[in-house]
Amino acid sequence: MGGLLDKANDYKDSVHQGDNVGSKVVNDPSAIISAYEMGKNSGDAKENKDEKLETKNKEEEVYPVILEESFDNGLNKNNLIFQLSSGGIFLVTMIMVFFFDTTVLFSGFTLDDLLVPGVILSWIVFNWEKLSQKEFDTKILAVSGVSFILLTAVFGGVSIFTANESAVKVGNVEFDGVDNEIDIKLFGPKGSDFTMDILVDGVSQYTYESSINVDRASHSVSLHDFWNGNSMDMNDKVLKTYEVEVISDGGTDTFDFTDHMVREANAGFVRVSEIFETASNGDKTYNGITVELLVGIGNPVCPDIQSRSAKCSFYDYANGAFTGTSPQPIATDWTVSLDVKLGSTVRYSYSSITADEGVVGGIGEFAFDWVMMPGTQSNYLDRSDFYNDDGCYTFEVTIENEHGDTFTDSSSKLQFYWDDNEANSEDTDQMAVAC
C-alpha cells in the first residue's frame, strides 16, 4: 500500500505539468498557477501578432481607395497640364487668325489657314486624358467640342467685323518669268470696289478697276503694259521705282516691287583663249580660239579712263586674259548675235541664240557667269573660219531684249600676233591684248 502511494506521488500530470517523464515534480499549487499564466501570455502574444498582421493588410487595401477618391475630386495633375496646354494652343491659334485676317492679309497659304487644324488639336489635347484611356464620356466630349466651336465663332466674328472696316490691301506681287507678267494678290472686305494702278516713278502706267470676291482678288499684268526700263543698275543703285497702288473706300495701299524689274540687258563681253601647238624646237602653230560670252547690265563703254572701276563695266585684256570689269549677269529674255570683224569686214558670224530667263538650251545659263560658245572645230573657233592676218579683231555683240531696247556692244576688241609669232623663231611671242 505504501509503495503504491509513493508511485502516485512520483507521477507527473501531463495536463498541468507537461510530459516531462523521469523528473520528479511536486504538484505545488504555485507552480501550476505559474504555468497557466505562461501559457496564457503565449496565446495573447500570438493573438496580438495576428491582429497586427490583419490591421496591416487592411491598411494596404484601403490606401489605393483613398488615392482614387483624390482623383475623383479633380486633382489630377496630368489632366490639368493637358487642359492648360490646349487652352494655350487655342489662344495662339485665334490670335494668329485675328492678326493675319485683319492686318496682314497675305495670299495663298498663310498662318490663318491653320484655324481648323488648330481648333481640332486644341480639342484633342483638352480631352487627351480620356481619349488615351479610351474612356469616352460622350457628354464631356460634346460639351468641350461645342465650347471650342463657339469660341472660334466669337473670334471669327470679331475678325470679320474688323475686316469690314479695313481698306483693300495689296498682299503680294510676284514675277512670272514664264508668262512675263506680274501676279498681284489683293485682300479686303467682300464686295469692296477698288482701283489699282501700276506706278513707275510715281506715274501711272496701267490702271485696273474691280471688286473683292469673298475676301480676296488676283490680277496678272503683262510687262508689255507697263515696262519703262531697268529699275536698278549693275551696282544695285535704284534707277526707277515700280509700285502697285490700290485705292478703295477704306484708303490707299501700296506695294513696291522694284527688285523684280531688272529686265533689260545692255552689255555683252567676250573673252578668248588662244589655242596653239608647240613644236620640239619651241615654234608655235596657232589653231584657233575658244570664245566665252557674258550678257548682262553695265556700261558698254566707260566715259573715260578715270571711270574704270567696279562701278563701271569696261573691257581690258592683258597677257592673254580678261582684266576688265564685266557686266552684271541677269535672268531675263533676249536674243543675241555675235560677229567677229577685222576692221569693218565680218570674218565670222555665230548663229543667234535666244535666252529664256538667262538660259539658252544646249549652251548654258547666262544668268550667272560666262558661257562657252559653240565652236567650228571641237570646242573652239577654227583659225581658218575667222583669221586673215594679224590685226585688231572686234567681237560685236547685238542684244535684242524682249522687254526693252536693242543694244550693240563693240567693247570686245583684241589684237592677235599669230603671223608674227610663227615667223619669229625667238622666244618673244606676243599674247592677245586689248586694242
* Structure confidence by residue, pLDDT tens digits, 361-391: 999 999 999 999 999 988 899 999 999 999 9
Question: For residue 425, which of 284, 275, 243 has the smallest C-alpha distance?
Answer: 284
As a whole number of Å, the CA-based R_g of the chain is 49
Q: What angle do CA 256, 260, 266 make, to 5 degrees?
A: 130
Asked, for residue 71, whether it belongs to a domain, the answer is no
Asked, for residue 138, whether it belongs to a domain, the answer is yes
How confident is the model at residue 23, as a pLDDT? 44
283 in the same domain as 420: yes
330 in the same domain as 223: no
Q: 435 Cβ partners below 8 Å, 6+ apart?
A: 392, 413, 414, 415
387 in the same domain as 298: yes
Asked, for residue 244, whether it belongs to a domain, the answer is yes
Q: What percent of the chain has pLDDT over 70?
A: 59
329 in the same domain as 192: no
87 in the same domain as 233: no
Domain hosting 381: range is 267-434
- Phi and psi (nearest 5°) for 338? -130, 120
DSSP classification of residue 367 = T
198 in the same domain as 127: no
Residue 412 C-alpha cell reads as: 570686245
Query: How many CB atoms neighbour CB 247 within 10 A?
Result: 17
Across residues 330-351, what is the average pLDDT?
Answer: 96
How confident is the model at residue 363, as a pLDDT? 95
Residue 341 C-alpha cell reads as: 570683224
Query: How many CB atoms neighbour CB 101 within 10 A?
Result: 23
Q: Does the pTM of the predicted model rise above 0.75?
A: no
How confident is the model at residue 77, as a pLDDT? 57
Question: For residue 283, which of 407, 176, 420 has the smallest C-alpha distance?
Answer: 420
Coarse DSSP helix, strand, coil percentages of the chain, rounded to the nearest 5 percent: 35, 30, 35
Asked, for residue 46, whether it belongs to a domain, the answer is no
151 in the same domain as 185: no
418 in the same domain as 342: yes
Digit-coded pLDDT (tens) for 249-299: 888 999 999 999 999 999 999 999 999 998 888 788 999 999 999 999 987
In whole angstroms, give the CA distance from residue 355 to residue 329. Answer: 12
How many independent structural domains does the chain possess? 3
Choice among 23-27, 166-170, 392-396 with the minimum mean pLDDT:
23-27
Asked, for residue 210, whether it belongs to a domain, the answer is yes
How confident is the model at residue 4, as a pLDDT? 45
CA end-to-end distance (rounded Å), the chain: 167
* pLDDT at residue 333 tops 60: yes
363 in the same domain as 344: yes
272 in the same domain as 217: no
Asked, for residue 33, whether it belongs to a domain, the answer is no
Digit-coded pLDDT (tens) for 216-245: 889 999 999 999 999 999 988 899 999 999
Across residues 18-33, what is the average pLDDT?
Answer: 50
Q: Enumerate the β-bridge partners of residue 328.
A: 297
* pLDDT at residue 345 tops 70: yes
How confident is the model at residue 73, as a pLDDT? 47
In whole angstroms, give the CA distance from residue 43 to residue 49. Answer: 10
175 in the same domain as 129: no
Position with higher pLDDT, 59 vs 92: 92
How confident is the model at residue 32, as a pLDDT? 55
How confident is the model at residue 15, as a pLDDT? 43
- Domain ends where: 112, 138, 163? 163
Query: How many CB atoms neighbour CB 403 within 10 A?
Result: 19
User: Could you tell me if 101 and 216 are in contact, meaning their C-beta atoms sit under 8 angstroms apart?
Assistant: no
DSSP classification of residue 121 = H
- Domain ends where: 163, 183, 217? 163
Dihedral over Cα of 142, 148, 150, 153: its sign: negative
Asked, for residue 65, whether it belongs to a domain, the answer is no
- Domain ends where: 244, 260, 276? 260
Asked, for residue 52, whether it belongs to a domain, the answer is no
Digit-coded pLDDT (tens) for 98-142: 555 544 444 444 444 545 565 565 556 555 555 555 554 565 556
Digit-coded pLDDT (tens) for 140-186: 556 555 665 666 665 555 555 554 456 899 999 999 988 999 999 99
Residue 123 C-alpha cell reads as: 480639342
Query: How many CB atoms neighbour CB 70 within 10 A?
Result: 10
Return the CATH number at 216: 2.60.40.10
361 in the same domain as 293: yes
Angle subtended by helix axes 138-163 and 115-126, to nearest 10: 150
